[in-house]
Amino acid sequence: MPSTTPACTQPTSALADAITAHAAAARHTTRTDLPNGHRLALRSRSNGDLSASVFAPSPAGPARIVLASFKGALAGDVPARVLSAAIRCAPPRPDLADAFPDPVITAKAMTLGQPHTEPGTPGLLVTYGPAQLWLERRALSVVLGRAGSMRITLEGPWDHQAAGQLADSMLREATWLDQLPPADVSAALPAWASVHEDGWHPAATTVFLPALPGDDELGRAHSRRYRALADQVEADHPDWRVQKLVSNEFAIVALRITRADAEVPPLYGYVVPAKGYESPGGGSRTFVTEYRPIPTRPAA
Protein backbone atom coordinates (compact mmCIF):
# COMPACT_ATOMS: atom_id res chain seq x y z
CA MET A 1 0.00 0.00 0.00
CA PRO A 2 1.57 3.32 -1.00
CA SER A 3 1.81 6.13 1.49
CA THR A 4 -0.91 8.75 1.56
CA THR A 5 1.54 11.61 1.93
CA PRO A 6 -0.19 14.57 0.26
CA ALA A 7 0.45 14.56 -3.47
CA CYS A 8 0.35 18.34 -3.49
CA THR A 9 -1.01 21.32 -1.67
CA GLN A 10 -3.43 22.18 -4.45
CA PRO A 11 -4.74 25.71 -3.90
CA THR A 12 -8.49 25.78 -3.43
CA SER A 13 -8.55 29.08 -5.34
CA ALA A 14 -7.24 27.42 -8.53
CA LEU A 15 -9.99 24.81 -8.37
CA ALA A 16 -12.64 27.44 -7.59
CA ASP A 17 -11.48 29.57 -10.55
CA ALA A 18 -11.67 26.55 -12.86
CA ILE A 19 -15.21 25.67 -11.71
CA THR A 20 -16.34 29.30 -12.09
CA ALA A 21 -14.86 29.50 -15.60
CA HIS A 22 -16.57 26.23 -16.53
CA ALA A 23 -19.95 27.60 -15.46
CA ALA A 24 -19.36 30.90 -17.27
CA ALA A 25 -18.37 29.12 -20.49
CA ALA A 26 -21.71 27.25 -20.51
CA ARG A 27 -19.96 24.28 -22.10
CA HIS A 28 -20.71 20.60 -21.55
CA THR A 29 -17.06 19.70 -20.82
CA THR A 30 -13.96 21.73 -19.97
CA ARG A 31 -10.40 20.76 -19.07
CA THR A 32 -8.02 22.87 -17.01
CA ASP A 33 -4.33 22.56 -16.14
CA LEU A 34 -3.72 23.02 -12.41
CA PRO A 35 -0.52 23.69 -10.45
CA ASN A 36 1.83 20.78 -9.70
CA GLY A 37 1.03 19.02 -12.97
CA HIS A 38 -2.55 18.15 -12.09
CA ARG A 39 -5.44 18.38 -14.56
CA LEU A 40 -9.13 18.94 -13.90
CA ALA A 41 -11.93 17.75 -16.19
CA LEU A 42 -15.43 19.09 -15.53
CA ARG A 43 -18.71 17.98 -17.06
CA SER A 44 -22.12 19.58 -16.58
CA ARG A 45 -25.26 17.48 -16.72
CA SER A 46 -28.55 18.65 -18.21
CA ASN A 47 -30.11 18.66 -14.72
CA GLY A 48 -27.44 21.00 -13.37
CA ASP A 49 -25.31 18.35 -11.66
CA LEU A 50 -21.53 18.58 -11.93
CA SER A 51 -18.99 15.79 -12.43
CA ALA A 52 -15.26 16.28 -11.90
CA SER A 53 -12.18 14.16 -12.52
CA VAL A 54 -8.72 15.05 -11.25
CA PHE A 55 -5.61 13.56 -12.86
CA ALA A 56 -2.12 13.53 -11.34
CA PRO A 57 1.23 13.00 -13.07
CA SER A 58 2.71 9.52 -12.74
CA PRO A 59 5.44 7.44 -14.42
CA ALA A 60 2.77 5.76 -16.55
CA GLY A 61 1.20 9.07 -17.56
CA PRO A 62 -1.75 11.03 -16.14
CA ALA A 63 -3.64 8.92 -13.61
CA ARG A 64 -7.07 9.70 -12.26
CA ILE A 65 -6.97 10.13 -8.48
CA VAL A 66 -10.44 11.58 -7.87
CA LEU A 67 -13.82 11.02 -9.49
CA ALA A 68 -16.43 13.34 -8.00
CA SER A 69 -20.13 14.00 -8.50
CA PHE A 70 -21.95 17.01 -7.07
CA LYS A 71 -25.75 16.96 -7.11
CA GLY A 72 -28.20 19.55 -5.84
CA ALA A 73 -27.73 23.06 -4.46
CA LEU A 74 -24.12 23.54 -3.35
CA ALA A 75 -23.38 26.77 -1.49
CA GLY A 76 -20.22 28.80 -1.99
CA ASP A 77 -17.05 27.06 -3.11
CA VAL A 78 -17.92 23.68 -1.54
CA PRO A 79 -16.96 21.67 -4.68
CA ALA A 80 -13.53 23.32 -4.82
CA ARG A 81 -12.87 22.70 -1.12
CA VAL A 82 -13.96 19.05 -1.37
CA LEU A 83 -11.75 18.46 -4.42
CA SER A 84 -8.82 20.18 -2.69
CA ALA A 85 -9.20 17.86 0.31
CA ALA A 86 -9.44 14.81 -1.96
CA ILE A 87 -6.23 15.78 -3.76
CA ARG A 88 -4.41 16.20 -0.45
CA CYS A 89 -5.49 12.68 0.55
CA ALA A 90 -4.44 11.08 -2.75
CA PRO A 91 -1.32 8.84 -2.77
CA PRO A 92 1.84 10.16 -4.44
CA ARG A 93 1.91 7.20 -6.89
CA PRO A 94 -1.70 6.88 -8.02
CA ASP A 95 -0.81 4.47 -10.82
CA LEU A 96 0.30 1.91 -8.20
CA ALA A 97 -2.61 2.41 -5.82
CA ASP A 98 -5.40 -0.10 -5.61
CA ALA A 99 -6.90 0.68 -2.23
CA PHE A 100 -10.26 -0.58 -1.06
CA PRO A 101 -10.62 0.79 2.46
CA ASP A 102 -12.63 -1.34 4.86
CA PRO A 103 -15.64 0.79 5.94
CA VAL A 104 -15.45 -0.23 9.61
CA ILE A 105 -11.73 0.59 9.86
CA THR A 106 -12.30 3.85 7.96
CA ALA A 107 -15.00 4.87 10.46
CA LYS A 108 -12.52 4.34 13.31
CA ALA A 109 -10.16 6.82 11.63
CA MET A 110 -12.90 9.48 11.55
CA THR A 111 -13.46 12.09 14.26
CA LEU A 112 -17.03 13.04 13.27
CA GLY A 113 -20.35 11.27 13.22
CA GLN A 114 -22.06 8.16 14.51
CA PRO A 115 -21.44 4.98 12.46
CA HIS A 116 -24.17 2.39 12.01
CA THR A 117 -25.40 -0.18 9.51
CA GLU A 118 -28.63 -0.33 7.49
CA PRO A 119 -30.34 -3.68 6.85
CA GLY A 120 -29.82 -4.67 3.24
CA THR A 121 -27.33 -1.83 2.61
CA PRO A 122 -23.65 -2.72 2.06
CA GLY A 123 -20.90 -0.74 3.71
CA LEU A 124 -21.32 1.62 6.62
CA LEU A 125 -23.39 4.76 7.24
CA VAL A 126 -22.17 7.66 9.38
CA THR A 127 -24.71 10.19 10.66
CA TYR A 128 -23.55 13.73 11.43
CA GLY A 129 -26.40 16.10 12.16
CA PRO A 130 -28.47 16.54 8.97
CA ALA A 131 -25.87 14.73 6.83
CA GLN A 132 -25.32 11.05 6.24
CA LEU A 133 -22.12 9.59 4.81
CA TRP A 134 -21.98 6.21 3.07
CA LEU A 135 -18.72 4.24 3.02
CA GLU A 136 -18.50 1.42 0.48
CA ARG A 137 -15.23 0.14 -1.02
CA ARG A 138 -13.62 3.08 -2.87
CA ALA A 139 -16.70 5.33 -2.73
CA LEU A 140 -17.56 8.03 -0.19
CA SER A 141 -21.01 9.54 -0.58
CA VAL A 142 -22.58 12.33 1.51
CA VAL A 143 -26.31 13.08 1.42
CA LEU A 144 -27.71 16.20 3.09
CA GLY A 145 -31.35 16.28 4.17
CA ARG A 146 -33.97 13.57 4.31
CA ALA A 147 -34.90 14.09 0.68
CA GLY A 148 -31.28 14.09 -0.47
CA SER A 149 -31.33 17.79 -1.37
CA MET A 150 -27.56 17.63 -1.87
CA ARG A 151 -25.25 14.73 -2.64
CA ILE A 152 -21.46 14.59 -2.98
CA THR A 153 -19.85 11.35 -4.17
CA LEU A 154 -16.11 10.72 -4.40
CA GLU A 155 -14.16 7.73 -5.63
CA GLY A 156 -10.41 7.36 -5.38
CA PRO A 157 -7.43 5.24 -4.27
CA TRP A 158 -7.29 5.96 -0.52
CA ASP A 159 -6.22 3.86 2.44
CA HIS A 160 -8.19 3.76 5.70
CA GLN A 161 -6.52 6.79 7.31
CA ALA A 162 -6.82 8.96 4.20
CA ALA A 163 -10.41 7.89 3.60
CA GLY A 164 -11.28 8.74 7.22
CA GLN A 165 -9.73 12.21 6.94
CA LEU A 166 -11.52 12.85 3.64
CA ALA A 167 -14.84 11.63 5.08
CA ASP A 168 -14.49 14.13 7.95
CA SER A 169 -13.76 16.90 5.43
CA MET A 170 -16.80 15.98 3.32
CA LEU A 171 -19.08 16.07 6.36
CA ARG A 172 -17.75 19.50 7.38
CA GLU A 173 -18.23 20.91 3.89
CA ALA A 174 -21.70 19.42 3.46
CA THR A 175 -22.91 20.91 6.75
CA TRP A 176 -21.05 24.22 6.85
CA LEU A 177 -24.30 26.24 6.71
CA ASP A 178 -25.54 24.37 9.80
CA GLN A 179 -22.37 24.79 11.86
CA LEU A 180 -21.88 26.65 15.11
CA PRO A 181 -18.21 27.57 14.60
CA PRO A 182 -16.02 27.07 17.70
CA ALA A 183 -14.43 30.46 16.95
CA ASP A 184 -17.82 32.19 17.34
CA VAL A 185 -18.42 30.48 20.69
CA SER A 186 -14.87 31.16 21.87
CA ALA A 187 -15.28 34.89 21.14
CA ALA A 188 -18.28 34.98 23.49
CA LEU A 189 -16.56 33.19 26.38
CA PRO A 190 -13.73 34.08 28.78
CA ALA A 191 -10.25 33.66 27.33
CA TRP A 192 -9.48 30.75 29.64
CA ALA A 193 -12.33 28.61 28.26
CA SER A 194 -11.30 25.96 25.71
CA VAL A 195 -13.80 25.46 22.87
CA HIS A 196 -13.73 22.41 20.59
CA GLU A 197 -15.63 21.01 17.61
CA ASP A 198 -18.42 18.64 18.58
CA GLY A 199 -17.98 15.21 17.04
CA TRP A 200 -21.69 14.39 16.85
CA HIS A 201 -23.41 17.43 15.33
CA PRO A 202 -22.20 20.45 13.28
CA ALA A 203 -24.39 22.90 15.24
CA ALA A 204 -22.70 22.07 18.55
CA THR A 205 -19.43 22.80 20.33
CA THR A 206 -17.89 21.49 23.54
CA VAL A 207 -16.42 23.78 26.21
CA PHE A 208 -13.82 22.82 28.81
CA LEU A 209 -12.54 24.90 31.73
CA PRO A 210 -9.08 24.41 33.28
CA ALA A 211 -8.90 23.12 36.84
CA LEU A 212 -7.41 25.54 39.36
CA PRO A 213 -4.91 24.83 42.16
CA GLY A 214 -6.66 23.94 45.39
CA ASP A 215 -9.78 22.46 43.73
CA ASP A 216 -11.26 19.59 45.74
CA GLU A 217 -10.88 16.06 44.36
CA LEU A 218 -14.61 15.65 43.70
CA GLY A 219 -14.58 18.72 41.45
CA ARG A 220 -17.24 20.66 43.32
CA ALA A 221 -15.53 24.05 42.96
CA HIS A 222 -14.80 23.27 39.29
CA SER A 223 -18.44 22.28 38.81
CA ARG A 224 -19.64 25.60 40.24
CA ARG A 225 -17.53 27.50 37.70
CA TYR A 226 -19.11 25.48 34.89
CA ARG A 227 -22.58 26.16 36.24
CA ALA A 228 -21.90 29.91 36.50
CA LEU A 229 -20.59 29.98 32.92
CA ALA A 230 -23.63 28.05 31.67
CA ASP A 231 -25.96 30.55 33.33
CA GLN A 232 -24.03 33.45 31.77
CA VAL A 233 -24.13 31.91 28.27
CA GLU A 234 -27.88 31.27 28.45
CA ALA A 235 -28.51 34.83 29.65
CA ASP A 236 -26.29 36.49 27.03
CA HIS A 237 -27.22 34.25 24.09
CA PRO A 238 -30.89 33.24 24.05
CA ASP A 239 -30.35 31.65 20.62
CA TRP A 240 -27.97 29.09 22.17
CA ARG A 241 -28.72 26.10 24.36
CA VAL A 242 -26.36 24.68 27.00
CA GLN A 243 -26.18 21.05 28.10
CA LYS A 244 -24.18 20.31 31.24
CA LEU A 245 -22.13 17.11 30.94
CA VAL A 246 -21.85 15.48 34.37
CA SER A 247 -19.36 12.89 35.61
CA ASN A 248 -20.32 9.79 37.61
CA GLU A 249 -19.34 11.83 40.71
CA PHE A 250 -22.16 14.25 39.74
CA ALA A 251 -19.74 17.09 38.95
CA ILE A 252 -20.04 19.12 35.74
CA VAL A 253 -17.01 18.34 33.58
CA ALA A 254 -17.91 20.08 30.30
CA LEU A 255 -20.56 22.18 28.57
CA ARG A 256 -22.13 21.46 25.20
CA ILE A 257 -23.39 24.58 23.45
CA THR A 258 -25.79 24.22 20.53
CA ARG A 259 -27.82 26.46 18.24
CA ALA A 260 -31.41 26.53 19.45
CA ASP A 261 -32.86 26.59 15.93
CA ALA A 262 -30.94 23.47 14.90
CA GLU A 263 -32.86 21.12 17.22
CA VAL A 264 -29.69 19.24 18.16
CA PRO A 265 -30.48 15.99 20.03
CA PRO A 266 -28.90 15.90 23.51
CA LEU A 267 -26.10 13.54 24.43
CA TYR A 268 -26.72 10.80 26.97
CA GLY A 269 -24.26 9.64 29.61
CA TYR A 270 -23.23 5.99 29.76
CA VAL A 271 -21.23 4.66 32.72
CA VAL A 272 -18.48 2.42 31.31
CA PRO A 273 -15.21 0.92 32.63
CA ALA A 274 -12.25 3.28 32.30
CA LYS A 275 -10.00 2.30 29.42
CA GLY A 276 -6.42 1.37 30.18
CA TYR A 277 -6.91 1.36 33.97
CA GLU A 278 -6.16 -1.66 36.14
CA SER A 279 -6.76 -1.41 39.87
CA PRO A 280 -4.04 -2.73 42.22
CA GLY A 281 -4.54 -6.42 42.91
CA GLY A 282 -7.13 -6.72 40.15
CA GLY A 283 -10.03 -5.99 42.49
CA SER A 284 -12.39 -3.08 42.01
CA ARG A 285 -12.71 -1.35 38.66
CA THR A 286 -12.83 2.36 37.86
CA PHE A 287 -15.79 3.63 35.86
CA VAL A 288 -16.24 6.83 33.89
CA THR A 289 -19.17 8.51 32.12
CA GLU A 290 -19.07 8.69 28.34
CA TYR A 291 -21.47 10.98 26.48
CA ARG A 292 -22.81 10.03 23.06
CA PRO A 293 -26.10 10.06 21.13
CA ILE A 294 -28.61 7.26 21.52
CA PRO A 295 -27.58 4.66 18.92
CA THR A 296 -30.01 4.48 16.04
CA ARG A 297 -28.75 1.03 15.10
CA PRO A 298 -25.99 -1.25 16.34
CA ALA A 299 -22.58 -0.13 15.06
CA ALA A 300 -20.83 -2.53 12.70
- Please write down the HEC assignment for all residues of the chain: CCCCCCCCCCCHHHHHHHHHHHHHHCCCEEEEECHHHCEEEEEECCCCCEEEEEEECCCCCCEEEEEEEEEECCCCCHHHHHHHHHHHHCCCCHHHCCCCCCHHHHHHCCCCCEEECCCCCCCEEEEECCEEEEEECCEEEEEECCCCCEEEEEECCCCHHHHHHHHHHHHHHHCHHHCCCHHHHHHCCCCCCEEEECCCCCCEEEEECCCCCCCCCCCHHHHHHHHHHHHHHHHHCCCEEEEEEECCCCCEEEEEEEEHHHCCCCCEEEEEECCCCCCHHHCCCCEEEEEECCCCCCCC
Is residue 298 a part of any domain in this protein?
no
Question: Mind listing the pLDDT tens digit for each residue in 44-71?
Answer: 887 778 888 988 887 778 888 888 888 8
Q: Which of 288, 245, 235, 238 is nearest to 266 (CA)?
A: 245
Q: Where in the sequence is the domain holding 61, given as residue range(s)?
A: 12-177
Q: Which pLDDT score is estimated for 140?
A: 80
Q: Which pLDDT score is estimated for 149?
A: 58
- Where residue 205 falls among pLDDT bands split at 50, 70, 90? very high
> In terms of pLDDT, which residue wins out, 287 or 127?
127
Give the separation between CA 117 and CA 297, rounded to whole angstroms.
7
Is residue 208 a part of any domain in this protein?
yes
Could you tell me what percent of the chain has a pLDDT over 90? Answer: 18
Distance of CA 111 to the CA centre of its chain: 6
- Where residue 275 falls among pLDDT bands split at 50, 70, 90? low
Q: Which of 117, 121, 114 is nearest to 167 (CA)?
A: 114
* Same domain, residue pair 150 and 201: no
Is residue 80 a part of any domain in this protein?
yes
Q: Are the C-beta atoms of residues 207 and 257 closer than 8 Å to each other?
A: yes
User: pTM for this structure?
Assistant: 0.77
* Same domain, residue pair 135 and 252: no
* Same domain, residue pair 169 and 94: yes
Is residue 122 a part of any domain in this protein?
yes
* Same domain, residue pair 121 and 252: no
Q: What sign results for the dihedral spanned by CA atoms 242, 243, 249, 250?
A: positive
- Where residue 4 falls among pLDDT bands split at 50, 70, 90? very low
| Residue that terminates a domain, selected from 177, 199, 233 | 177
Q: Which pLDDT score is estimated for 294?
A: 76
- Where residue 112 falls among pLDDT bands split at 50, 70, 90? very high
Give the separation between CA 292 and CA 137, rounded to whole angstroms.
27
* Same domain, residue pair 256 and 157: no
* Same domain, residue pair 93 and 20: yes
| Residue that terminates a domain, selected from 177, 202, 218 | 177
Is residue 275 a part of any domain in this protein?
yes
* Same domain, residue pair 96 and 186: no
Is residue 299 a part of any domain in this protein?
no
Is residue 4 a part of any domain in this protein?
no
Q: Which pLDDT score is estimated for 196?
A: 93
How many domains are contained in the chain? 2
Question: Is 60 exceeded by the pLDDT of residue 5?
Answer: no
* Same domain, residue pair 117 and 209: no
* Same domain, residue pair 18 and 39: yes
Question: Is 80 exceeded by the pLDDT of residue 297?
Answer: no
* Same domain, residue pair 36 and 75: yes
Question: Is 60 exceeded by the pLDDT of residue 141?
Answer: yes
Q: Are the C-beta atoms of residues 109 and 164 closer than 8 Å to each other?
A: yes
Is residue 92 a part of any domain in this protein?
yes
Question: Mind listing the pLDDT tens digit for each residue in 213-225?
Answer: 777 766 788 889 9
* Same domain, residue pair 277 and 220: yes
| Residue that terminates a domain, selected from 177, 208, 237 | 177
What's the chain's average pLDDT?
79
* Same domain, residue pair 114 and 194: no
Q: Which pLDDT score is estimated for 2?
A: 30
Q: What sign results for the dihedral spanned by CA atoms 269, 274, 280, 285?
A: positive
